[in-house]
Amino acid sequence: MNKNTFTLTNNQDGKSYEYEILQGTRGPSVVDLRSFFPDTGLFTYDPGFTSTASCTSTITFIDGVKGELRYRGIPIETLAKDHNYMETCYLLLNNKLPSKDDLYHFDLEIRHRAFLHEGLRNLFNSFPDNAHPMATLSAAVTALSTFYDDHITCTTDEEYQEMARRIIAKIPTVAAFAYRHSLGIPFIQPDIDLGFTKNFLTMMRAYPGGKMHLCANGHEEIKEVEVRALDTIFTLHADHEQNASTTVVRGVASTGAHPYVAISSGISALWGRAHGGANESVIAQLEYIGSIENVEAFIERAKDPNDDFKLMGFGHRVYKNFDPRAKILKALQDELREELNLDTELMAIARRIEEIALNDDYFISRHLYPNIDFYTGIILTALQIPKSMFTPIFVIGRTVGWITQWIEFKKDATSKIARPRQLYTGD
């Protein structure tokens, strides 16, 4: 037999079963257990799916031990340094980086699709002013499916691309409108003369008539370093393999639901504090610590097994080395501090926590390195973005990953409806 196999023996009846080992191009191989239940009458038990591959994919690869992240085979460091978010979106959707002409037409299409149907704009008035932007964003994206019902029958590459580009373009507008509704201030329409990231910042900051909000650091214009910083954050968030929200998107896709409903479900999953909401929790904790003089006491609390206090923004479910996205953002944070002359108390607290944790054996031995959430919150604060918008910004970056995963699932002829089994322990 040429193929590699894995043999399981049931000690109760002495029967043995062989299963093929499937080889990937990177990462661990997997045991193909699709016939395990018909063969044995048994289920596998894997809470949290920590040892289970739920699909095959060609989109994103992570090596948590090495601290490696690649989109379509390209290291995240290369994308963050040499390419912008629009190029990254094109890469994920088309499995190749765009030519200059490809990028021009892709970017132009995204700009023109950023406007919302006037009927959808009216939806925001039905929400209370104090609604969290994530709740509004999820509801509005579900409502978006009613305006583009035909996307539920996507079958061709052209239809997939139209559907994907439309949602990628509209999510920043929906997020900005959700934020401005929460403040009770007028919406700012997209500007087709502005690129993706600068357009979003403008919809967040501008006032009617073209005036810009005067930021705390004293400048009105949106600086290039701010656009570059937020664009990098979008790129780093674009996809992250089979995480919780992506698994939700694929699960909803398996039911045949509208793609925008699947995206809305992903938004709801991302909102959780153990997932995308973690960056909001980091800033809340830094504010709670309050002063650089208090840092060491809180570090000791984090190390105390009898204390429930946990240091937010450290460690990762997958990465057992330094999160490669965090390395990129650490350098970006230092650049922001220099170029925007920012040196706030929160940044000082964060730097002191980072300094202690990176040199303390307690954190090093447990692989508790600063993760992307630790730096994202600091940078977004430096960009004068409120905590309530941290997770919506994660959504803006991640939408392309979700929709690419949705398309990959729909194109896979072997895909089935998601239906995990259980170990029943009730009466």
| Contacting residues for 401 by C-beta, under 8 A, at least 6 apart | 59, 60, 92, 237, 238, 239, 240, 246
> Cβ contacts of residue 168 below 8 Å, gap of 6+?
89, 110, 399, 400, 403
Q: Is-catalytic flag, 191?
A: no
In the prediction, which pLDDT does 341 show?
Answer: 67
Quick one: pLDDT at residue 217?
Answer: 47
Ranges of the chain with pLDDT below 50: 1, 216-218
CA distance 137 to 267: 8
| Gyration radius from the chain CA atoms | 23
Cα separations in angstroms, 366 against 134, 312, 316, 330, 374: 33, 15, 11, 21, 17
DSSP-H helix ranges across 95-132: 100-112, 118-121
Whole-angstrom distance, CA of residue 413 vs CA of residue 360: 50
Beta bridge partners of 212: 206
What is the predicted pLDDT for the residue at 216? 44
How many degrees, rounded to 5, is the angle at CA 165 between CA 206 and CA 210? 15
Contact 392, 133 (CB under 8 A): yes
Q: Is residue 1 part of a domain?
A: no
Does 16 fall in a domain? no
Question: Is 31 a domain residue?
Answer: no
| pLDDT for the residue numbered 231 | 97
Distance CA 250, CA 57 (A): 12
316 is catalytic: yes
What H or E segment, with its residue span, contains residue 30?
strand 30-31
Confidence (pLDDT) at 210: 66
**Residue 18: inside a domain:** no
In a domain, 37, yes or no: no
CATH assignment of the domain containing 232: 1.10.580.10
Question: Out of 239, 316, 343, 361, which one is annotated catalytic?
Answer: 316
Q: Which domain holds residue 105?
A: 45-427
Domain for residue 20, yes or no? no
* Residue 30 belongs to some domain of the structure: no
- Catalytic residue (choose from 107, 231, 239, 373): 373
Q: Does residue 381 fall inside a structural domain?
A: yes
Residue pair 85/235 in contact by the 8 Å Cβ criterion: yes
Structure confidence by residue, pLDDT tens digits, 81-109: 999 999 999 999 999 999 999 999 999 99
Distance from C-alpha of 323 to C-alpha of 76, rounded to nearest angstrom: 11
Instruction: Please tell me the total count of domains within the chain.
Output: 1
